[in-house]
Chains A and B, each alone.
Chain A
């Protein structure tokens, strides 16, 4: 095999400690590397990876605030920011299960455990790069999307590098699945498993059976894997997926909880649990999972407004069971979350939904004025949207009032008012007043409606057409108006009508 040439490989080092960055960079230069870039956090790393094709990434697991090494890797894999031929190496000071297992799900190409000396590092990296070199014929084809050729390359690599047979077989199984050659994949995995229970092969078999629609057998395969090696968290995810398909949503929830118990940091799994538990009406479980999705998602590609909205919805479900102090806390919490969602998601629909939920939350917690402002914002945003989803329109329409009945009353009131205005403009004042009065009695009259009604009854009184108890009516409207906060344009009109009322009385 050709010796590894460091000069040909662009290196990216991710470490939050400046000394560690420069040590590692100096070491790599000593090994022969010519292009070595260093960054101090995940954000910068992802930007660099988007701009240049690196052949080797050395990432410390601990990166201070923000993303950790696992989350960077998760995002790298998710976004396809690194070709298969490149090597991602996780440097860990820590062999704690949470870390090791978490990283296992996103498969770095290698680990280097601290402490290491210069020669340790060189030896390990060289070893790893040699393996990558041996696998290159397969991985280059995978990067090119040429699965047939990649498949052929697997056999070729296994022949040429018998010591890498396992990695060649792992690739081969995965490629067969990609090509939907499920029967061949099953044969491969069963052959490997005939010799020894290897977790990756058992996992592959489970996935193959799932792809073949043999759900019960697939579930058995994953259960066997869990019994043998509890650390394979993915097996729990697959079981959860099978249970969900079979309509056993409580079992699905249980499996996801088991997976989270082993590896709590994966956002996608927390999101899935939140959703499944919400379906099962396990509000507490769902709330916790949504909350973790929000927290973990802050630094992740899985940052998603639905986590915020889901959390608020689920919190609402348990509102009645809370003490008044907890209710208030939940309300403040919800408002804080909505503010955050509004700030970080630059999206009209998200902001509209956030405003509508803010209005609803404010209403529930008796903050009427704030509710009105939020509701107005939601309406404004909704109007600017081209094709707002039906469900969002309903949410906005219903956001300011407690229930649909109230909403219907409100709409009826608006209708009566509109008709009344038309009649009044045509001089049919008595008929107009009858409609206005009905609108007021619906209990949903706005300031504008009340002012119209008051004006109509005063005009009728001036013209000698008012009902006998018109003074009582007028006093009733004035009382209601005084109880409401009126702002300037309404204020002037109200003052005028009050003046007219005094003269008539």
Chain B
């Protein structure tokens, strides 16, 4: 059985995917268990922190699964004409709740009536992971914004932290491999790039651009969807 390399690759893929699913589900149970734990007020903030850790763990695993799904390329996008603002608001609210630094603010700038064509679940995951990333580096503010530009949708996540490392800036820069010493896996950026390029119409693909935020001075991530 499974003697050829295709079969082996498929098996490895299956094992990886199931392992990730299991871990993600365990993270889910951890969150639910912690949330329902009765604690006295003194321990509450610690419990909340653990909850957030577990939820973040689950989100990371979801990102990997999404990347696997996108690279497998078997199933197309679930694209539709969707309102943009509710997604930014959800991501901001979640980010705000997850952050432990109470001085950090997540702001949203987007017209209520802005609509665009995209895969809601994929774009939301990419933004969530970009927002989490910004929150880790920001000093006081993370800003999520969206607008139309030449019939494209521009989704922007920026902060007032130290900014992306030099080698990441620009459009063609390659996203580095995992670097555990820096608490950086590059996974979020990789997901953002996969999500951007998965969107296409009439031969034009979405793009990911990393640069310096002109208003906040920190990192700026732009997802440009056709």
Known: A96-B17, A198-B80, A198-B81. Is A114-B90 also a contact (CB below 8 A)? Answer: no
Report the minimum CB–CB distance from B120 to chain A (whole Å): 10
Whether the Cβ atoms of B94 and A119 lie closer than 8 Å is yes
Report the minimum CB–CB distance from B64 to chain A (whole Å): 11
| Residues of A81-138 whose CB lies within 8 A of B | 93-97, 100-101, 113-120, 123, 127
Whether the Cβ atoms of A93 and B75 lie closer than 8 Å is no
| Chain A residues proximal to chain B, CB less than 8 Å | 19-20, 23, 26, 93-97, 100-101, 113-120, 123, 127, 162-166, 196-200, 228-231
Query: How many A-B contacts if CB must be within 8 Å?
Result: 93
Of A94, A95, A113, A120, the contact of B94 (CB 8 Å cutoff): A120
Known: A120-B94, A231-B76. Is A93-B51 also a contact (CB below 8 A)? Answer: no
Whether the Cβ atoms of A163 and B80 lie closer than 8 Å is no
Report the minimum CB–CB distance from A109 to chain B (whole Å): 14
Residue B176 lies at the interface, judged by CB distance under 8 Å to chain A: no
Report the minimum CB–CB distance from A13 to chain B (whole Å): 14
| Residues of B65-86 whose CB lies within 8 A of A | 65-66, 69, 74-83, 86
Residue B102 lies at the interface, judged by CB distance under 8 Å to chain A: no
Whether the Cβ atoms of A118 and B21 lie closer than 8 Å is no
Known: A93-B24, A94-B21, A198-B117. Is A119-B80 also a contact (CB below 8 A)? Answer: no
Interface of A is mostly: helix
Whether the Cβ atoms of A231 and B97 lie closer than 8 Å is no
Interface of B is mostly: helix
Of A20, A113, A115, A163, the contact of B83 (CB 8 Å cutoff): A163
Residue B15 lies at the interface, judged by CB distance under 8 Å to chain A: no
Known: A95-B65, A165-B81. Is A115-B55 also a contact (CB below 8 A)? Answer: yes
Whether the Cβ atoms of B117 and A196 lie closer than 8 Å is yes
Range of interface residues on B (Cβ < 8 Å): 35 or more
Q: List 17 A-B contacts (CB under 8 A).
A: A19-B32, A20-B32, A26-B36, A101-B75, A115-B25, A115-B27, A116-B31, A117-B35, A119-B94, A123-B94, A164-B83, A165-B81, A166-B82, A196-B79, A198-B117, A230-B74, A231-B78
**Chain B: CB-nearest residue to A123:** B90
Could you say which residues of chain A place their CB within 8 Å of the CB of B165?
A: none
Of A113, A162, A228, the contact of B113 (CB 8 Å cutoff): A162
Could you say which residues of chain B place their CB within 8 Å of the CB of A166?
A: 80-82
Could you say which residues of chain B place their CB within 8 Å of the CB of A114?
A: 24-25, 28, 58
Could you say which residues of chain B place their CB within 8 Å of the CB of A228?
A: 76
Report the minimum CB–CB distance from A61 to chain B (whole Å): 12
Residue B93 lies at the interface, judged by CB distance under 8 Å to chain A: yes
**Chain A: CB-nearest residue to B33:** A19
Of B36, B69, B77, the contact of A95 (CB 8 Å cutoff): B69
Whether the Cβ atoms of A163 and B94 lie closer than 8 Å is no
Whether the Cβ atoms of B90 and A127 lie closer than 8 Å is yes
Query: Which of A101, A115, A117, A196 has most chain B Cβ within 10 Å?
Result: A115
Whether the Cβ atoms of B117 and A127 lie closer than 8 Å is no
Known: A101-B75, A119-B94, A163-B113. Is A23-B80 also a contact (CB below 8 A)? Answer: no
Residue B115 lies at the interface, judged by CB distance under 8 Å to chain A: yes
A157 to B210, CA, bound (A): 39
